[in-house]
Homo-oligomer: A and B are copies of this chain.
Amino acid sequence: PRSFRIVVLPGDGIGPEVVSQAVRVLELVSSSSSDFDLKLETHDFGGCAIDKTGEPLPPTTLKACQEADAILMGSIGGPKWGVDAKIRPEPGLLALRKTLGLYANIRPANLASESLLEYTPLKPSVAQGVDMIVVRELIGGLYFGTRKEQGVEPDVDTAWDSMIYSVSEVQRITRVAAQIALAADPPLEIHSIDKANVLAASRLWRKVVTETLSKEYPQLKLDHHLVDSAAMLIVASPKRLNGVILTENLFGDILSDQSSVIPGSLGLLPSASLAGAPSAPSADFKPTPGLYEPIHGSAPDIAGKGIANPIGTILSAAMLLRYSLGLEAPAKAIETAVRKVLDTPELGGHGLRTADLGGSIGTTELGDHIIEVL
C-alpha cells in the first residue's frame, strides 16, 4: 500500500481534545483500507512549544512538517501568550505557512445539515442554501510585505505596512480557485473580491484573475465585487456569493471569518492551506503538501472540559484526505458520517450535539458516534 506521513500538531487549549478525535477517524480510515497507510506523528507547536522550547515553531517541528505529506493541526494561542507577550504563537503559524509555501487557504461555509438552521444568526430564509468556499491567498499581501514599526527611525511617529502582489502570485491562487470550481458538477461560479477602485494591488489582482480565467478556464463564470460590497452581501443575501469566493490575504481573513458564522457554530467548519492545486488521482500522483485545521480558536474557557465540538477538526481530516492525498472516497465517507450523526435524533429531538449546538454530549462521545457510523 502507498504510505503517507501525516504530522499532527495538537496545539493549545481545546486543540489536543478535538485533534484526538480526528486522529481516531484517520486511524480507522487507514486500518480499513489495504490501498494506503497513514503514518501519524505528533509534534509541539504554538504556546505549548513556547513553554517547552522558547519558540512556537521549534526546528524539529518545522523539519517534520517539511517532510510530511500533510499536517493536521488543532488550534494555538491562549491568554498565557497574549498580545503583550514577547514570544507569541501566531508568528509560528505565519512562519509555517510561509516556509511550506501554503499559499492557498480554502474554507467552505455551508450548513452541514438543514437541522442546524436554528443556530444561524440569519433568518432561515436568508441562510438556507448558503454554500460558499472562500479561496484566500495566504502568503502575500499586507501579511508579508515590508513594514516599519512605530519608534523606528527616520520617523518614530509613524508605522506602515505594505500590500504587495505579483502577477504570478495571483495567477497561482486563481488556478487553485478554478480547480476547486471545476471539481463540482456543474462547475461553481467564481466571485473575485478586491478594492480595485482604490488599491493598485487590487487593480493588478482584478486584471490577472480576469486574464488567467479567460485564457485557461474560459468555461468558468466570473464576477468581481468590491470588498465593502461583498461584506454587505454576505450578511444580506449570502447566496448571491454561492460558489468560490477568490480573494487576497487580508480580505480573505475578514470575509472567511464573517461567512463562517452563518452556519451557526464555528465548531463545525474545517479549513485547508495548500502548497499547490488539490491533488487529482492520476498515474504520477504526488501528494500536495497542506495544513488542515478547524477554523475555531483554542477556546481557553472550555479547554480541558471535554465538551468542545470535534467536527471542524474531523472535517479537516476529510479535506486532508481529499486535497493532499487524493483520497476522495474516505473523505466523502467521513463527511457523510458527520452529517448522519448531526441528523440523528437524540432524546429530545435534537441530533447528537455538543454544547455549542445546544446539545449535551462530550467531545469523545461525539467522536464515538462518528466512528461507529463510519
Contact B122 A200 (CB under 8 A): no
Which residues in B have their C-beta under 8 angstroms from that of A88? 197
Contact A159 B203 (CB under 8 A): yes
Of A164, A227, A235, most B-chain CB atoms within 10 Å: A235
- Is A365 among interface residues, defined by CB-CB distance under 8 A? no
Contact B126 A196 (CB under 8 A): no
Contact A231 B203 (CB under 8 A): no
- Is A260 among interface residues, defined by CB-CB distance under 8 A? yes
Give the contacting residue for A142; candidates B122, B123, B163, B196; CB below 8 A. Answer: B163
The complex places the Cα of A156 from the Cα of B196 at a distance, in Å, of 18
- Is A36 among interface residues, defined by CB-CB distance under 8 A? no
A245 to chain B, nearest CB (A): 14
- Is A168 among interface residues, defined by CB-CB distance under 8 A? yes
Name the interface size band of chain A.
Answer: 35 or more
The complex places the Cα of A337 from the Cα of B203 at a distance, in Å, of 44
Give the contacting residue for A228; candidates B148, B164, B165, B254; CB below 8 A. Answer: B254
- Is A121 among interface residues, defined by CB-CB distance under 8 A? yes
Which residues in B have their C-beta under 8 angstroms from that of A235? 121-122, 234-235, 258, 261-262
Contact B200 A147 (CB under 8 A): yes
Within 8 A of B (CB), among A199-250: 199-201, 203-204, 207, 227-229, 231-232, 234-237, 250
- Is A79 among interface residues, defined by CB-CB distance under 8 A? no
Contact B198 A142 (CB under 8 A): yes
The complex places the Cα of A260 from the Cα of B229 at a distance, in Å, of 11
| Given A145-B160, A160-B162, A161-B162, A90-B197 contact (CB < 8 Å) | yes
Which residues in B have their C-beta under 8 angstroms from that of A166? 155, 157-158
Which residues in B have their C-beta under 8 angstroms from that of A123? 120-123
Contact A121 B253 (CB under 8 A): no
Of A163, A229, A254, A266, most B-chain CB atoms within 10 Å: A254
A199 to chain B, nearest CB (A): 5
Q: Mark A242-285, 1 if CB is under 8 A from B, else 0.
A: 00000000100111111011100010000000000000000000
The complex places the Cα of A167 from the Cα of B156 at a distance, in Å, of 9
Which residues in B have their C-beta under 8 angstroms from that of A165? 158-160
Give the contacting residue for A160; candidates B149, B163, B168, B257; CB below 8 A. Answer: B163
- Is A195 among interface residues, defined by CB-CB distance under 8 A? yes
Contact B200 A149 (CB under 8 A): yes
| Given A159-B164, A164-B158, A166-B157, A150-B203 contact (CB < 8 Å) | yes
Within 8 A of B (CB), among A28-87: 83
- Would you list 16 pairs from A and B whose C-beta atoms are within 8 A, ordered by A residue? A83-B196, A122-B235, A147-B201, A149-B204, A150-B207, A158-B167, A159-B201, A160-B162, A160-B200, A161-B163, A162-B163, A228-B253, A231-B258, A232-B261, A234-B258, A235-B261
| Chain A residues at the B interface, C-beta cutoff of 8 Å | 83, 88, 90, 94, 120-123, 126, 142-143, 145, 147-150, 155, 157-168, 195-201, 203-204, 207, 227-229, 231-232, 234-237, 250, 253-258, 260-262, 266
For the complex of A and B, the 8 pairs showing the least CB-CB separation, nearest first, are A159-B204, A160-B164, A231-B258, A228-B257, A150-B204, A236-B261, A159-B200, A147-B200
